[in-house]
Amino acid sequence: MIVYHLTEDSKVRGCLNEGLIRSQARAYVFPDWEDVQICIDASAIENDSQGVLENWRILVLKVDSDQIVQAPIPRSGLPSLLGQQTIEDLQAKSFYIETDLSGERIIAIKNAFGDDVTDHYQGESAKSRNLFRFLSYAKPYWHLVAGATAMGILKFLIPLAFPWMLRIVLDDYLLREGVAISEQKAKILHLVLLMIGLHLIWLVATYFRSLFTAMSGHRMIRDLRTALYNHVQRLSHQFFTTHQSGAIVARLVHDISQAQNFVGSALTNLWMDLVLMLVLLAILFPMNWELTLVALALMPVFLFSIRYIGRRIRLSTREVQQRMEVLAGGLQEKVTGTTIVKGFTREDQESELFKAQADKLYSKVLRSVRYAVINEMTVGFVVLTSPVLVVWYGSHLILNEELTVGQLTQFLLYLGMFYAPLQRLSDLGAVLAASLASIDRVFDYFDTRAQIADKPDAKELPKLDGQIIFQDVDFGYDPEKSVLKGVSLQIEPGQTVAFVGPSGSGKSTLANLVPRFYDPTGGRILLDGEDLRDLKLQDLRRNIGIVNQDTILFSGTIRENLLL
């Protein structure tokens, strides 16, 4: 990721308004946010005796006429770049903006304390865009969503009749004097049969709602996962060399699976619970406005939990997902490179490294769990205490003959129905936080563009003779550090050429330029007199046969591998 360091609130807003990080921003590439926090410790920067910065790739980025220029800076220059500010100064006015590799799209904004302040500066616009993009995958299945919604309305409305029926049984039949027992039994039986019938309808509605929700959700996720895989497949080779394979798999599998929770939780449960709460308030206030106010007396405690603790749950959930991706990426590398690990007897060292990563994940998970438990305790206090207050005040009204036992019972049942969705909304906080964070992470990949792509006027490949010419070719994985410099050679059709040299001298790099896994930073490569960058990429690669030095077999039969 690219992290920009800004020292004033006005500059943060200026960057957002301009849409690009201008020259007023100073930028560094860090492994993760924890290392950003280390960076603001001036003593660690000025005296790197512990090698804190030893393996960091530090860049300063400057935007000049919409072209991003990268210039590496020495570690010794970092303190002066920060302006020799004290830790207190940095904590008072520093912001770190995380962007994609182009520097154009802002992913997150954090202050020097590590608090996520993205929403404060960007609002919900960026996240809303990703959410609407995600919901667009539901369009082909609108009939299933509509069916789930209709069944959900039945599921939530039917139970509203039961407290009313119970009040009738108590006040009109059981507790009313002068009514014949036979008449009481007959009317109670009618109500019981009606309740059973309504409950059967409720069961049918619940079944079809769950079925329609699952069908629409799984189909959405199938389409999203397929679309993301197709997109990732077409990204440039550099994307796969700068991203851990395990991290890519985590986005395709874990993050998209997390996003599926949003379908069942938000598309139906969330808005339906909110509507149900409003309906219940509309029932409770006319029944007895005094009891309703008593029942809502502790609502500020619940709102505090949702506003402050819920926000910390969302932030900690995002950190858990990021740490999980790091762990999965490292694990994938070590499993793939098990021959190297065993060959150099590094089992113990790798186990220690894995344990260190697992410990970091554990600390993030534990922090998230603590917030979730605090939130659960707060909501539980409200849900358990409010009915007690209602019983206390309701008993007072009954003794004053201002309320009946049946009315109080009916009120308590409706109040229980009111707090049930309230608890669900609280529990949904962590689920929705994980889902929304996963949706953002999925669309981060969708917003990544291939650096090697066809020009608008790219030509189809004509009949090939096969002449390849390198004309003064320069190339470096880092633009400021050339691996190849001034390479010129000519390979005639039918000619066999071998590149010979020590390991790391650039042989594979030179070969990788021909199928355009990378483009040269200087000079050009011609195929039958045509610049490779002027040809259609798929045509070019279809006409190049590649035999890797590493043996790679995909799952399946030998025949299927040979036919690739």
At residue 71's C-alpha, the angle toward residues 67 and 73, to 5°, is: 155
179 compared with 409, residue with greater pLDDT: 409
Q: What is the DSSP letter of 465?
A: -
pLDDT score, position 208: 92
**pLDDT grade, residue 352 (50/70/90)?**
confident
Cα 174 to chain centroid, rounded:
56
Asked whether the predicted pLDDT for residue 525 surpasses 50, the reply is yes
Mean pLDDT of 12-18: 50
pLDDT score, position 444: 78
Contacts of 505 (CB under 8 A, 6+ apart): none
**pLDDT grade, residue 465 (50/70/90)?**
confident
pLDDT score, position 386: 87
Average pLDDT along the chain? 72
Contact 375, 310 (CB under 8 A): yes
Asked whether the predicted pLDDT for residue 551 surpasses 70, the reply is no
Domain with CATH 1.20.1560.10 in the chain: 135-446
Nearest CA to 468 out of 506, 423, 430, 499 is that of 499
Contact 329, 247 (CB under 8 A): yes
How do residues 176-211 score in pLDDT, each as one tens digit? 665 667 666 777 787 788 888 888 998 998 899 889
Cα 140 to chain centroid, rounded:
23
Q: What are phi and psi of 399, to 5 degrees?
A: -65, -30
Long-range contacts, stretch 112-115, CB < 8 angstroms, 24+ apart:
112/40, 114/33, 114/36, 114/37, 115/315
Task: Put the strands of the sheet holding 468-475 in their side by side order.
Answer: 484-491, 468-475, 522-527, 530-531
97 compared with 57, residue with greater pLDDT: 97
Q: In sequence order, what E strands does 100-144 have?
A: 106-111
Q: Which class for 387: exposed (0-12), middle (13-18), buried (19 or more C-beta within 10 A)?
A: middle
Task: Put the strands of the sheet holding 106-111 in their side by side order.
Answer: 26-29, 2-6, 95-99, 106-111
Residue with tokens 């001034």: 486
Contacts of 411 (CB under 8 A, 6+ apart): 284, 287, 288, 291, 390, 394
Q: How many CB atoms lie within 10 A of CB 220?
A: 26
pLDDT score, position 200: 92
pLDDT score, position 220: 87
How do residues 493-510 score in pLDDT, each as one tens digit? 888 888 888 777 778 888
CA atoms within 13 A on the CB side of 371: 23
| Reported CATH class of domain 468-562 | alpha beta
305 compared with 220, residue with greater pLDDT: 220
At residue 426's C-alpha, the angle toward residues 421 and 429, to 5°, is: 125
pLDDT score, position 550: 66
Residue 467, Ramachandran bin (φ over 0: left; ψ between -120 and 50: alpha; else beta): beta
**pLDDT grade, residue 107 (50/70/90)?**
low
Domain with CATH 3.40.50.300 in the chain: 468-562
pLDDT score, position 52: 36
**pLDDT grade, residue 172 (50/70/90)?**
low
Mean pLDDT of 385-405: 86
Q: Which class for 450: exposed (0-12), middle (13-18), buried (19 or more C-beta within 10 A)?
A: middle
Q: What is the DSSP letter of 530?
A: E
Rounded Cα distance between 30 and 111, Å, is 16
* CATH superfamily of the domain spanning 135-446: ABC transporter type 1, transmembrane domain (1.20.1560.10)
Mean pLDDT of 62-72: 34
